[in-house]
Amino acid sequence: MKKSIQTALEKIGDPSEIKEMKSVSGGQINDSYYVRTNEHEWFIKMNSRAGEGFFQSEALGLNLLKEVGQARVPEVKGVFKEEKDHPAMLILEWIEEGREPVNQEELGRMVARMHCATSRFAGLKEDNFVGELPQINQQNEDWVQFYGENRLMPQAKIAKEKGYFNGAREKSFNKVIEFLDRWIGHGPSFSLLHGDLWSGNFLSDEQGKPVLIDPAVSYGDREADLAFTELFGGFSPGFYEAYKEFSPLEEGYTERKPIYQLYYLLIHLNIFGEMYGPSVDRILNFYAGKL
């Protein structure tokens, strides 16, 4: 492993000796390391089980957030496909985390500014990943069609294959899909989305400034990002106040929020199991009950 890292560092222009290497937190999917050489500090992710293009997708997402969305992210230094005796690898700048909590107001403004970057189409030119699961990004000018066919239905298919979709759950899901335009037919602009915006995917640098990490980018309704921030918590009232001051929300967000949270709950159902089933059912029954 150390040899693989040394080889990769040489390819990005750091041939100096590795002085320190230690495992650090980097999510449940990858093996992550802090690496210090004579000249630099690096954050390195490795994965011998990653799907084709896994780290390439993350690198693309980080670069989009930085260059198009004007967000602070770790700078991508190198990305390597899996080869014989060498796992797939992503090399990022090392960002020293500060002792102070992140400035949530600044985070809110940064996300709002990121959402100001828009596209004619929902989706992205390339498919990518959300967590360890594939995320389909087939571009579409029709938001309802895109969200149904590229977000909800692929996750429902995975859930059915895993045995998480019983008759009642599938029946409610199909009804929600059939009338999806009732819930999200408001014609949103297609904003640049982080795509996996929960409290574990931002950090605070030494100055307390926010840094976004681990994106699953695409263009879509900005409310999808915001809905996920509210699903598991971790974002302060100041975050939302700063966001809304920069970019007020459209009327009806509260009613649409659960349908956007459904996507992430289906993902959690597929990764972690039936413990998320009741939450999926609650949202499905909420919308199906309105028909």
205 and 122 part of one domain: yes
Task: State which of 33, 62, 93 marks the end of a domain.
Answer: 93
Does residue 261 surpass a pLDDT of 70? yes
57 and 174 part of one domain: no
In the block, tokens 């690096």 appear at 42
219 and 108 part of one domain: yes
CA-CA distance, 212 to 71, in Å (whole number)?
7
In the block, tokens 């159902």 appear at 269
Does residue 126 surpass a pLDDT of 80? yes
Which of 193, 274, 266, 273 has the alpha carbon at shortest distance from 231?
266
Tokens of 157: 């298919």
pLDDT at position 291 is 75
Question: Would residue 214 show up in a list of annotated catalytic residues for this protein?
Answer: no
In the block, tokens 């920069």 appear at 246
pLDDT at position 190 is 99
123 and 198 part of one domain: yes
Q: Tell me which of 13-17, 48-52, 205-209 is least confident.
A: 48-52
Task: State which of 62, 93, 124 marks the end of a domain.
Answer: 93
252 and 131 part of one domain: yes
Task: State which of 38, 63, 93 marks the end of a domain.
Answer: 93
158 and 255 part of one domain: yes
58 and 134 part of one domain: no
What is the domain extent for residue 15? 2-93
230 and 119 part of one domain: yes
For the chain, give percent helix, strand, coil, nearest 5: 45, 20, 35
Mean pLDDT, rounded, for 98-103: 88
Which of 23, 190, 185, 51 has the alpha carbon at shortest distance from 130?
51
Q: What is the CATH number of the domain that holds 190?
A: 3.90.1200.10
Measure the CA angle with vertex 206, ends 71 and 223; round to 5°: 30
- Number of structural domains found in the chain: 2
Residue 27: pLDDT band by 50, 70, 90 thresholds? low
In the block, tokens 């937190």 appear at 25
Q: What is the CATH number of the domain that holds 80?
A: 3.30.200.20
In a domain, 62, yes or no: yes
φ and ψ of 166, to 5 deg: -85, 180
Does residue 199 surpass a pLDDT of 90? yes
22 and 75 part of one domain: yes
Catalytic residue among 14, 196, 214, 221: 196
